[in-house]
Each structure stands twice: as structure tokens, then as C-alpha cells.
């Protein structure tokens, strides 16, 4: 299945991912559970996890099956940037929203490749996936690959490493052009947080969303590094009493709706934060907006990044206005 020749502003030459520069098969990819050899160019791809299908579609192929994305995916489980990219094309089968992989449904699609490069699949799940088709699991820590890494892995699996590299470079230029609109961004220190389960949840340095922001010229606040336990987790907790130890130029938070954010801003421990008092709180609101950068993909960035960086820039201006 082929995707439309123009996807969310990606140039024609990149989106078509023409076979003229395709690498030879077989291709062998290393991952956390060993290695997987792909004998020939895959034609029936199933994705599992988050954002894997975005890279497949951006490289010119429509998967036969994709996971139901309950976060930002609407009633049909398809996120808006994928809907936009596939406008006028046949849509893939959206897998059952069961939490666990629906192995029987996946097998019925007769895939010749399963991609879970950004995921947290277990060894047992990988074994079951591999019994259906060659499977690409994640490398390094679960749920930690950058959008560039996912795009490169998918490009290699599809036999399109040159196209993937060009797509990454083009998207990075798009990001650089957007960031360049806001000279207050580079060097601004930040910390990401939310109020969860009776404590402040702080996004740790390992979190893919934080890693993405540091790639834009923002600087993860030293306080995050100092307070974060070295436990391999993406979030750590602070009690409300020590929230003020989370020092930074700006704070970043994410809310699905405006009302809960408004309620957060009434709380004394939030109002006392210097960043909030300066107006240096960057709050991204709206499920789809948050999903587009949590973490981002090569497709979702085109859809959601301009608004995201505008919100961050407004907070950065506030802290530097003194």
C-alpha cells in the first residue's frame, strides 16, 4: 500500500521514498531482544507502540495494521496527523483497543514485518510477535528512542535508509526554522511537571519529551538533574513542600483540558513558584496538541510543533523580560 505523495508539507521527493535508492535485502537490525533479519522489502507491515506507523507512512507506505491510539486518537483511534496524511487513501486496520497486543487479529492480517521500535514490549510479547512475522523491538531503554532514531530504524527496515536520512534532515530544518522565529528560546532552562496523585510529578532527563526539547536549544534545568533519582524511570515525585526546589527559567506542563489547568493555578504551592509569578509557565492544552509532542514523531511534528514552540517561547519571553 502506498501513501499519498505529499504528507503534511513533506517534500514530494522525500514522501514518495522511491525505490531508486533503496538498499539491498536482506537487512539485519539489532534491538533489545537480539537481532532480526528482513529477507525482502516488506509489503504488509503492522506497527505496535507509539509513532512507529507515523514513520512508515512518512516513508511512503501504509501499514496494514496500526494500534488504537486512545490518547489523541479520537473515537476511531487514529490521530489527526495520520488522518491528514492518509486523506483519500485506504486506511489501515486499527487494532482492537485491548491494552495488550491482539495477537490473533495481528496474525489474521498476515504481516511480513512488525515494527515496535518505540514501545515497551516484553520478551514474551516479542516471542509471540516473532511467531507471526519478523519483529523489530526497541533498542536501549523502553519508550526512550527519539523520533530521529525511530525514523532511521523504520527506514532501514523498509530498505529506505537514504530516504529516511533525508526526511530526518528536512524535518530538523523545519524545526530549526520554527525555533529561529523565537530568539529567546536558546539557553532557556526548563523543567517539565504535572500534579499527580498527591505530589508533583517531574519529567526525568530520560523522558523522550525532555530529550526532544534539549535538542531545540533549551537546557534541562540543573535542578532536574540533581533531584532525579538514577532509577531509569521517566518521572519522579516531589512533595508539594519542596516544589520550590525545582528551579528553572520556565516550567512546562501538559493538560488535556483548560479547566484542570485553571484549578492547578489556584493551588498555593503553584502560585508560590517564581516561574508562575513571572508568567513563565508554558502550558500546552488539548489532548491532540499534547499527544503530538508526547513524544513527537516525524509526522506529528508538522502538525503540532508550531503551536508548542510558540507556547514555550511566550514563557521564555516572560522570564527574560525582567
Q: Which three cell numbers stand for residue 129?
A: 510477535
Rg (CA), the chain: 20
* DSSP category for residue 17: -
Q: Where in the chain does DSSP place strands (E)?
A: 27-31, 34-38, 45-47, 65-66, 93-94, 113-115, 135-136, 189-196, 199-203, 219-220, 235-238, 250-255, 281-285
Tell me how far apart the alpha carbons of residues 40 and 165 are, in angstroms, rounded to a whole number.
20
State how far Cα 166 lies from the chain centre. 19
2: closest CA among 105, 104, 86? 86
35: closest CA among 119, 123, 134? 134
95: closest CA among 67, 116, 133? 67
Contact status, residue 53 vs residue 111, Cβ threshold 8 Å: no
pLDDT of residue 322: 62
Contact status, residue 280 vs residue 315, Cβ threshold 8 Å: yes
- The pair phi, psi for residue 117, each rounded to 5°, is -70, -30
pLDDT of residue 23: 65
> In the CATH scheme, what architecture does the domain 12-177 have?
3-Layer(aba) Sandwich (3.40)
Q: Is 189-320 the same fold as 12-177?
A: yes
pLDDT tens profile 297-306: 999 999 999 9
* DSSP category for residue 206: T
**Confidence (pTM):** 0.89
pLDDT of residue 310: 98
Instruction: Report the CATH superfamily, name and number, of domain 189-320.
Output: Nitrogenase molybdenum iron protein domain (3.40.50.1980)
pLDDT tens profile 115-141: 999 999 999 999 999 999 999 999 999
Q: How confident is the model at residue 89 (pLDDT cuts 50, 70, 90)?
A: confident
State how far Cα 259 lies from the chain centre. 25
Q: How confident is the model at residue 22 (pLDDT cuts 50, 70, 90)?
A: low
What residues does each domain of the chain span? 12-177, 189-320
pLDDT at 277 exceeding the cut of 90: yes
* pLDDT, mean of residues 16-26: 58
CB burial of residue 266 (10 Å; 0-12, 13-18, 19+): exposed
Amino acid at each position: 500500500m502506498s501513501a499519498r505523495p505529499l504528507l503534511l508539507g513533506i517534500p514530494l521527493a522525500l514522501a514518495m521514498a522511491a525505490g531508486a535508492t533503496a538498499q539491498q535485502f536482506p537487512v539485519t537490525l539489532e534491538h533489545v531482544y537480539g537481532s532480526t533479519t528482513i529477507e525482502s522489502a516488506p509489503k504488509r507491515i503492522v506497527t505496535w507502540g507509539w509513532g512507529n506507523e507515523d514513520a512508515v507512512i512518512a516513508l511512503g507506505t501504509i501499514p496494514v495494521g496500526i494500534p488504537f491510539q486512545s490518547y489523541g486518537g479520537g473515537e476511531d483511534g487514529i490521530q489527526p496527523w495520520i488522518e491528514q496524511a492518509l486523506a483519500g487513501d485506504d486506511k489501515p486496520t486499527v487494532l482492537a483497543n485491548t491494552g495488550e497486543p491482539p495477537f490473533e487479529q495481528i496474525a489474521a492480517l498476515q504481516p511480513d514485518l512488525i515494527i515496535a521500535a518505540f514501545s515497551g514490549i516484553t520478551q514474551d510479547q516479542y516471542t509471540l510477535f516473532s511467531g507471526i512475522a519478523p519483529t523489530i523491538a526497541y533498542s536501549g531503554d523502553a519508550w526512550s528512542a527519539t523520533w530521529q532514531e525511530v525514523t532511521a530504524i523504520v527506514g532501514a527496515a523498509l530498505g529506505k535508509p537514504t530516504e529516511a536520512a533525508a526526511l530526518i534532515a528536512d524535518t530538523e530544518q523545519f524545526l530549526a526554522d520554527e525555533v529561529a522565529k523565537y530568539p529567546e528560546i536558546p539557553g532557556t532552562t526548563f523543567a517539565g511537571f504535572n500534579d499527580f496523585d498527591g505530589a508533583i510529578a517531574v519529567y526525568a532527563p530520560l523522558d523522550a519529551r525532555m530529550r526532544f526539547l534539549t535538542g531545540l536549544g533549551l537546557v534541562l534545568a540543573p535542578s532536574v538533574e540533581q533531584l532525579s533519582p538514577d532509577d531509569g524511570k521517566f518521572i519522579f515525585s516531589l512533595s508539594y513542600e519542596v516544589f520550590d526546589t525545582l528551579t528553572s527559567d520556565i516550567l512546562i506542563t501538559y493538560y488535556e483540558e483548560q479547566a484542570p489547568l485553571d484549578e492547578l493555578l489556584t493551588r498555593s504551592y503553584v502560585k508560590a513558584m517564581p516561574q508562575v509569578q513571572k508568567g513563565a509557565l508554558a502550558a500546552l492544552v488539548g489532548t491532540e496538541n499534547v499527544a503530538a509532542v508526547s513524544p513527537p514523531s516525524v509526522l506529528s511534528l508538522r502538525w503540532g510543533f508550531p503551536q508548542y514552540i510558540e507556547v514555550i517561547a511566550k514563557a521564555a519571553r516572560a522570564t527574560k523580560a525582567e
